[in-house]
Amino acid sequence: MAGATNKSLKAVGFKQSDIKKIRATAGAGLSVKSAIGHAREIKAWVPTKAVNHVNRTERVNAMNAASKAQAEKREATKREPPKKEPPPKGPQLAHMGTEAFGDRAGRIAPVLGGAAQRMMAARKAAQEQNLLAPWKNTKVEGKSADHWSAEMSDLRNRKPRPLNKLYRNPALITPEIKAKHDMVMRAWNALYRRATKNHKKAMELSNAAWRKATPAQQAARLRHRED
């Protein structure tokens, strides 16, 4: 992600005027992440698309690092010499089965197997929830950053059209029509401002939790991204 060009900065949503300001203060050889940091320092507009691009790249890198660590651990385990099992002592339960318990042995085994599976599944679910603990307090008004981003997209799709697009003849636009249209636009702007503000806050909380999380917690977060 190092050495982002002006074209790549435009592709993630930076405006040409802001790019000039960032280049003037920070010079060339900036990554998109560094450009975001410099934009915040000079109080320039930071596009949501650029922030999502950086977060997505960091998450992919973290997931790749975690996968690589797991692969190295498996390879190291394969190279270890096999452990020798001690010789059995005394009569074995496997040979006592039907002789000691009769037909009941065949009925008890499946019950124990099902109980063990349920216990393991419950333990795994509890461990997964513990891994997601850093993100418990990252929601804003009960919604995650992804939910607010989807709401912003839905609002953009439902934005009221301008009056000059609705009426080709400006003479048809009466004061009543204009007043009603202004009221609708004010309501839409209020909803969009709220969604934008909450999305930004949720992203900041989520990013802070991501930076503090371990690779295992980051991998669990990627598995439960929709939460």
What is the per-residue pLDDT for 113?
A: 67
Are 55 and 207 contacting, i.e. CB atoms less than 8 angstroms apart?
yes
Given a cut of 80, whether residue 177 has pLDDT beyond it is yes
Q: Helices 145-157 and 48-79 meet at what angle, rounded to 10?
A: 140
More confident residue, 72 or 186: 186
* pLDDT confidence band for 1 (50 / 70 / 90): very low
Amino acid at 96: M
- pLDDT value at position 103? 52
Residue 81, φ and ψ in degrees, nearest 5: -65, 145
Does residue 42 contact residue 22 with C-beta atoms inside 8 Å? yes
DSSP H or E run through 120: helix 104-131
Mean pLDDT, rounded, for 56-64: 81
Question: Which of 43-52, 69-78, 89-98, 126-135 has the lowest average pLDDT?
Answer: 89-98
Confidence of residue 67 (pLDDT cuts 50, 70, 90): confident
What whole-number percentage of the chain has pLDDT above 70?
78
Amino acid at 123: R
d(CA 222, CA 134): 13
Please state whether the predicted TM-score (pTM) of the whole model is above 0.75.
no
Residue 139 has phi, psi (to 5 degrees) of -90, 150
Question: Measured over all CA atoms, what is the biggest interatomic distance in the chain, rounded to whole angstroms?
Answer: 103
Q: What is the mean pLDDT of residues 86-92?
A: 56
What separation in angstroms does the CA of 23 have from each of 17, 30, 54? 10, 8, 19
pLDDT tens for 26-49 read 666 677 777 777 677 766 767 787
Predicted local confidence at residue 46, as pLDDT: 76
pLDDT class for 23, splitting at 50, 70, 90? confident
For the residues 110-114, what does the mean pLDDT come to? Answer: 61
